[in-house]
A and B are shown apart, each in its own frame.
Chain A
Amino acid sequence: MLSVQNVHKKMGQTNVLTNVSFDVTPGEIFGFLGPNGAGKTTTIRIITGLMPATRGTVTVDGFDVSTDRQQALSRIGAIVENPAFYPYLTGRENLIHAMNLIPGIKKVDLNALGALVGLETKLDMKVKQYSLGMKQRLGIARALLHNPKVLILDEPTNGLDPAGIADLRNYLRHLADHRGIAILISSHLLSEMELITDRFAIIDQGQIKSIQGDGEAKTESVILCKVDRKQMNEALDVVAHAFDDVKIIQQSAETFIVPRPETDIPHLLKHLVDRDIAVYQIGMKHETLEEQFLKVTKKEGGTNNAFITSQ
């Protein structure tokens, strides 16, 4: 549905984006992660036609954003950077303004749309009286006005309270599952992204460092084992003999992790018990999105420190 292929953006002498490629399929929620300044917003600006790419193509439902602008952009709903409105107009007037920007749009039931995002009683208030969370909801309503095939949300959970975030998550899931909308979300809230996305790409220094492929597990899993700290060295020796070519990582004086699947737990446990090692805990530990992010950006010499401090 949304296809970004080999997009390159040069500003002055700086390569802001280098060969950025990814696809978002109908009904999929695709996360776009990266530190500040990694190129997320530049990519979104190119997708939404706000900025031309130096090289590469962006297509929406088969229409090229640069050559079939009207066809491509009429299939996109977006919030870029922050939801901006005319503060002296009401929420309803802002939505009417947005409707007027879509050629050939059919009549929209604004009350129903307002109810959908929880603003049914607030649509006739001036936007200058809205809280940030209300503006965010109105921004989503505006992005959905014309039933887009692709929804692009830049930091959509900014300003929302935990209940609002949960509502948004459920609503986006509903849109993806029932209306087949392809959703691209950029965010720095990794825990939120982990809950909401089907797949994700990590961008750093203008390059895609990693894309979670179709059919792969969302996150890597490892075996976490806690043993008597006096027996730690012996335990590590046992594990090294139990599995060929495995990299064991000692996490603390009494815990270590083994990057093996869940089916290897009985095998590992048997070896430890046979050597009379006291095992206090054994189970699967799922690698968080944050850990994957840090791993990818560190491995590539990226800028993850800036990302961490930005949170």
Chain B
Amino acid sequence: MRSLLANEFMKWRRTIKPLIALGMYTGIIILTYFIVRSGDNPGDAETFVNYATMAAMTFLGIFTIVFTAEMIGNELKFDTLKHLLMSPYSRDRILLSKLVAALLIMLVQFVFILAVTYGFAWTLDGALTFEQFRNILLSVSSGVFVIFLTLMFSVVFKSVGVVIGFTVLANFLSTMIGGLLITWKPDIAKWIVFLHTDLSIYYQSPGFMETMDVTIWFSAFYVLIHIVAFYVITAFVFRSKTFAE
């Protein structure tokens, strides 16, 4: 398993995209830093961390979709998937290595964002709270969900572009429809999984989830059921598909 993970990391870090991603996180955090410090009433460290992580996590979500979609999409594009499938490792093991690699790659970027953000926050006035740090950690749940969703699409569709498109569309439409339903039909809205993926919302906007009369445990369990279902479907398709031209 370690050697399979080493392969996935080698393929990831040898493209230009990780550098672009890390550059964009750094850029957006620095931009936020100067915006927060500017003006007559400059913000404190907590305000900066809030805005900087919010902006960087949006980019992290996008890059997570791209990197995960390319894990299988690029194998099909370069026709290298057959070499993975010809290896003595089982298809289940190969798929699992890609999933774990996608999760670790997201976490590496998340840690990078945290390190840069808190590094800059250190130079600002004001105290940093544990509650804020907890909220940032909880927001990672949406990244985990999106990895499972993207991986499922990537074993079904051949093109990386289609996989990215479907994932973004599913996320965007479901959140938009859920946002509308939450006002008029909250008992229906609560079954839209995309409204539950970011668990930090329970602490950042508690009123939003109270409308649907759900708890953080309901959301966590509901998201867990979905990611298990996504993975079962992904493994079934990956195991049974020939992937021949």
Q: Chain B residues in contact with chain A, CB under 8 A?
A: 3-4, 6-7, 10-11, 14-15, 74, 78-80, 82-90, 242-245
Contacts and interface: CB of A to CB of B under 8 A. Distances in A.
B214 to A, nearest CB: 44
A264 B4 CA distance: 64
Contact of B4 (A49, A51, A100): A100
Given A88-B15, A89-B10, A89-B14, A101 B89 contact: yes
A101 B11 contact: no
A48 B81 CA distance: 13
A247 interface: no
Interface in A95-138: 96-103
A246 B7 CA distance: 64
A70 B88 contact: yes
Interface residues of A, number: 31
Contacts of B87: 73, 101-102
A254 B90 CA distance: 64
Contacts, number: 75
A89 B83 contact: no
A87 B78 contact: yes
Contacts of B79: 81-82, 84
B151 to A, nearest CB: 19
A172 to B, nearest CB: 20
A73 B89 CA distance: 9
A45 B86 CA distance: 9
A75 B131 CA distance: 55
Interface of A: 45, 48-51, 69-71, 73-74, 76, 78, 80-82, 84-89, 93, 96-103, 142
A144 to B, nearest CB: 14
A110 to B, nearest CB: 14
Contacts of A48: 86
B78 A74 contact: no
Contact of A51 (B7, B84, B244): B244
Contact of A50 (B3, B7, B15, B85): B85
Contacts of A78: 86
Contact of A102 (B15, B88, B242): B88
Contacts of A86: 11, 14, 74, 78, 80
Given A45-B244, A50-B242, A50-B244, A80 B86 contact: yes
Contact of A97 (B11, B90, B243): B11
Nearest to A97: B7
A292 B168 CA distance: 58
Contacts of B86: 48-50, 73, 76, 78, 80
A74 B244 contact: no
B10 A96 contact: yes
B189 to A, nearest CB: 44
Contacts of B243: 50
A48 B245 CA distance: 16
Nearest to B87: A101
B244 A101 contact: no
A82 B78 CA distance: 11
Contacts of B4: 100-101
B20 to A, nearest CB: 14
Contacts of B242: 45, 50-51
Contacts of A85: 78, 80
Contacts of A87: 78
A50 B82 contact: yes
A102 to B, nearest CB: 7
Given A86-B11, A100-B7, 9 more contacts: A69-B90, A74-B88, A78-B86, A80-B82, A82-B79, A84-B79, A84-B82, A100-B4, A101-B4
A119 B121 CA distance: 52
Nearest to A76: B86
Contacts of A101: 3-4, 7, 83-84, 87-89
A69 B92 CA distance: 13
A84 B87 CA distance: 14
Contacts of A45: 242, 244
A45 B242 CA distance: 10
Contacts of B89: 70, 101, 103
Given A50-B85, A69-B88, A84-B79, A93 B244 contact: no
Contact of B6 (A51, A74, A88, A100): A100
Nearest to A101: B87
A88 B70 CA distance: 14
Contacts of B85: 49-50
A80 B14 CA distance: 25
